[in-house]
Structure 1
């Protein structure tokens, strides 16, 4: 139970880091004059990390009070983690494409935390965190629902205001509608692959020993001495 409580506090710390990073990213974006205030929350990364912070706070409280996560929390974590991981992968592709096209792009530390550090920590916590139950396969189609609706709304909104959060959603920045559709379908397939991997991994138990259990085990030399003592007693009995 001690391990579970420590894990609960780590969840709350992770949520705090996420909130600080989101705040810095917003302030940095406003100061760089590259982002209009009304568009900050239009990014899938921002929306998914807001969900990540809120859910991690809830998960942290549950971790402090209960020895095991309820099934709904595991499903919710799989949903949100699928979104944040895929957003990080998409961000990497965007940065790479910007370099290929010779477009200068500045990545603040908050972007690194939101796109790489937090998703990475989320994967580690998903794999070895205590008290996680198995995720349902029904998570996969629900994972796709949010980005699909977000994409439809974003394209509709972009046609009205002339702004898109990601270049591949803008027909003017790609070769045309076919490339935009193919890029969008590729993005959805990545969401599906990530969600499938999370569900599969949730069904493989990786149990970490409780704190103090490792130190309580006898050292190899002590175990050898015990074996020799047993052999001596056996020989004397003969």
Structure 2
């Protein structure tokens, strides 16, 4: 088995692991008659589901020998930013807090294992083409849109997926604003780091061509 095929198999295995984890937690939601829309309003669940799709498609592309495209590189980039963000936010802001009826092993998979695996996948298999810095801005679109959705939906129905979106938990909308500013700044830094990792992982010859074009 070639290394490329091995990576394809690993992507499929971790996609399966992520699916089992999310499905198991969804089973808890159904068994306890919790809100299904609320389940799919957690950034962690959405990001892990997106990762499953990205890993499956990525594995198929490898097995079929489909070359990278700029659009596919951006998709992988955004997914990497999202998942690393999941891991960082959980382990910095939410660890030790009340995570509700989350199954402990599922919690470990979706908040620790999968973010690490996605980052390693990006580092080991970086895009062949050089990403532009502007790509970092694209990586902010989904998290920012999600935050707007969470705030509007929370104000309408009183459910906030995370405490830092809830004005009652963080000292009003001023506290929410401060958290959002911190999260956006963190996202920008994270997105830039992911782009720079890509540049560093490119072959020396490719980096030399980039400098010539510049």
Q: Same fold (TM over 0.5)?
A: yes
**Alignment counterpart, residue 112 of structure 2, candidates 97, 116, 127:** 116
Partner of 2:142: 146
Name the SS for the 2:40 alignment partner.
helix
Listed as ranges, the gaps of 5+ residues in structure 1 are 208-238
- Check if 1:162 corresponds to 2:135: no
Residue correspondences, number = 202
**Deviation of the 1:22 alpha carbon:** 0.9
**Deviation of the 1:187 alpha carbon:** 1.1
Q: 1:95 and 1:153, CA in 2 relative to 1: closer, same or farther beyond 3 A?
A: closer
**Deviation of the 1:131 alpha carbon:** 6.6
**Partner Cα distance (1:7, 1:151) in 2:** 33
TM-score by length of 1: 0.76
- Check if 1:16 corresponds to 2:12: no
**Deviation of the 1:135 alpha carbon:** 2.7
Q: Name the larger-Rg structure.
A: 1
Partner of 1:232: none
The 5-angstrom pairing of residues 39-188 of structure 1 reads 39-66=38-65, 68-96=67-95, 98=97, 108-129=104-125, 132-188=128-184
Alpha-carbon contact 2:164-2:176 (below 8 Å) kept = yes
RMSD between aligned residues: 2.3
Q: 1:130 and 1:174, CA in 2 relative to 1: closer, same or farther beyond 3 A?
A: closer
**Deviation of the 1:104 alpha carbon:** 7.7
**Deviation sequence 1:30-74 (CA, Å, 0-9, x none):** 4467x4222000011111111111111111111112275333222
**Partner Cα distance (2:92, 2:31) in 1:** 25
Alpha-carbon contact 2:126-2:201 (below 8 Å) kept = no
Q: 1:53 and 1:205, CA in 2 relative to 1: closer, same or farther beyond 3 A?
A: same
TM-score by length of 2: 0.84
Partner of 1:218: none
**Partner Cα distance (1:21, 1:195) in 2:** 26
Q: 1:116 and 1:145, CA in 2 relative to 1: closer, same or farther beyond 3 A?
A: same
